[in-house]
A = this chain, B = another copy of it.
């Protein structure tokens, strides 16, 4: 014990400093939220490589005080951001921040516990089990997805991870029956509206890219997957010796918010021995309102369901709930038992080790975030929140429909409206270019940010209502902006007179 102790050089988690510096960051964010409405939503003079010219090309040798760093964030970084929390953000699908989501993330980040196995932080693992059960009940999934019903849930970072895990589980269930060589004969089915993550996920797990089937949808089915089209493709595959593996169903597609017929897909999946995954990344949040519950009818036929509270459920990035009917299907393929993770203290009791429910070993304590959101806002608060956005989208849809220059392209689903300037005459080839010009002008104004989609060869503008700070006045302003820019790009009212 004679050695001199090493001298202390840095106290990176000293409580005094922690509280003072953290309060500076809170003040910074407080100011940001007060101002964000006035920032251009999309940075109008963004130029690839700009930030690199503003920052040194090597890290500093010596540290700076937190205020200097915050000032650099304000001057160099904030002006180059797309402001996802702006109330005028209507692009992609919004990703919700909230006071409670932030509080939950602070707790998770501050405690910085890593619940990869139960023993690595028992209460963190157990809170995750509790909160996915809560969400399961709240969105109205059948009891088979509850732990008490033989299923269970996990909190991932993204739908993509959930999809890869379920694909692997489905694949290994099949291969254990018919041998690993059969990986070349497995087929995955999705619609042309399914999220690109399914195709990417199938590729990642070794399904030959030529064995990914994209079933076309149409306006007739509201861009939902039509079971007849699906079955004829599956039958053809079976006839040629291929093995149907996995079927992707979606409640609220990314482009249009379309809803696949879950019950029918479930029946097809069962008939052919396929795994059915239901992706409710965006619209899953709306399922807490009974009026949307029929979208998930038939979920008892699914093998897995996922939704992202980080989209429309006031839970800051990142947070995805995945429920499976058979946890053993996941864990049998994703488990690993290296010696350095075995617990000497745990005893023999059966516990959930969430590392075996996901790709990664280490994992943040994400459950805390979702739990705080549910505790802070309650089911009633969340339902009111969702309904408010749907009402705003309904208003926008009605208003677009009432203006002869515009049309709603696919019927509004949930809080998403897809619209465009109407073709000025039969076969108007310029209408796509005009709408593209309109969208560029809207975004260049900085007063709103929207994105587009292409359906049936039509370029359509997506108005996705769902920001945590978005109020009716922002939706109204967005409509005024669209009309103003429509005039500017040359879609004058007179152009449309001959349509009357």
Partner among B10, B101, B203, B316 whose Cβ is within 8 Å of the Cβ of A333: B203
Q: A5-B472, A171-B206, A345-B440 are in contact. List 7 more A-B contacts (CB 8 A).
A: A3-B395, A6-B388, A13-B33, A51-B123, A58-B138, A77-B127, A85-B112
Bin chain A's interface residue count: 35 or more
Is A336 positioned at the interface, with any CB of B under 8 Å from its CB?
yes
Partner of A206, one of B24, B55, B129, B206: B206
Does A226 count as interface, using CB distance less than 8 angstroms? Answer: no
Most chain B CB atoms below 10 A, which of A28, A119, A126: A126
A273 to B25, CA, bound (A): 49
A419 to chain B, nearest CB (A): 15
Which residues of chain A from 372 to 408 have any CB-CB distance to chain B below 8 Å in the complex?
372, 374-381, 384-385, 387-388, 391-392, 395, 398-399
**In the complex where A61-B380, A114-B84 touch, is A107 in contact with B6 (Cβ < 8 A)?**
no
Q: Look across to chain B and name the residue whose beta carbon is closest to the beta carbon of A471.
A: B8
Per-residue CB proximity of A91-113 to B under 8 Å, as 1/0? 01001111111110111011111
Nearest Cβ on chain B to A488's Cβ, whole angstroms: 16
- In the bound complex, do residue A384 and residue B109 qualify as a contact, i.e. CB atoms below 8 Å apart? no
Residue A64 lies at the interface, judged by CB distance under 8 Å to chain B: yes
Over the window 296-317 of chain A, the binary record of Cβ atoms lying under 8 Å from chain B Cβ atoms (1 yes, 0 no) is 0000000000001010001011
- CB distance B122 to A339 under 8 Å? no
Nearest B residue to A356 via CB reads: B200
Distance in Å from the Cβ of A156 to the closest Cβ of chain B?
9
The digit string for A198-218, where 1 denotes a CB below 8 A from any CB of B, is 011101111111100000000
The oligomer's copy count stands at 2
A472 and B112 alpha carbons, distance in the complex (Å): 22
CB contact between A81 and one of B13, B113, B129, B171 (< 8 Å): that residue: B113
Contacts of A32 in B (CB 8 A): 110-111
Give, as a whole number of angstroms, the nearest-CB distance from A223 to chain B. Answer: 13
A93 to chain B, nearest CB (A): 9
Q: In the bound complex, how far is the Cα of B23 from the Cα of A199, in angstroms?
A: 44
If over half of A's interface residues share one DSSP class (helix, strand or loop), that class is named, otherwise mixed; here it is: helix
| Whole-angstrom CA separation of A340 from B270 in the bound complex | 32
Is A158 part of the contact surface with B, judged by Cβ < 8 Å?
Answer: yes
Contact yes or no, B60 A379, CB < 8 A = yes
Is A219 part of the contact surface with B, judged by Cβ < 8 Å?
no
Interface status of A334 (Cβ within 8 A of chain B) = yes
The reply to whether A336 and B12 form a contact with Cβ atoms under 8 Å apart is no
Query: Known: A29-B106, A120-B92, A318-B362. Is A200-B377 also a contact (CB below 8 A)?
Result: no
Q: How far is the CA of A55 from the CA of B345 in the complex (A)?
A: 25
Given contacts A164-B359, A184-B181, A317-B109, contact A19 B26 (CB under 8 A): yes
Contact B339 A99 (CB under 8 A): no
**Is A468 in contact with chain B by the CB < 8 A criterion?**
yes
Query: Which residues of the other chain, B, contact A64 by a CB distance below 8 angstroms?
Result: 375-376, 378
Instruction: Enumerate 9 A-B pairs (CB-CB under 8 Å) in ascending A order.
Output: A3-B398, A8-B388, A12-B100, A13-B468, A32-B110, A51-B127, A61-B378, A80-B126, A95-B114
Nearest-CB distance from A201 to chain B (Å)? Answer: 8
A340 contacts B451, C-beta separation under 8 Å: yes
Q: Which of A41-49, A236-244, A420-428 contacts B (4 or more CB under 8 A)?
A: A41-49
C-beta contact mask, A347-359 vs B, less than 8 Å → 1, else 0? 0011100000001
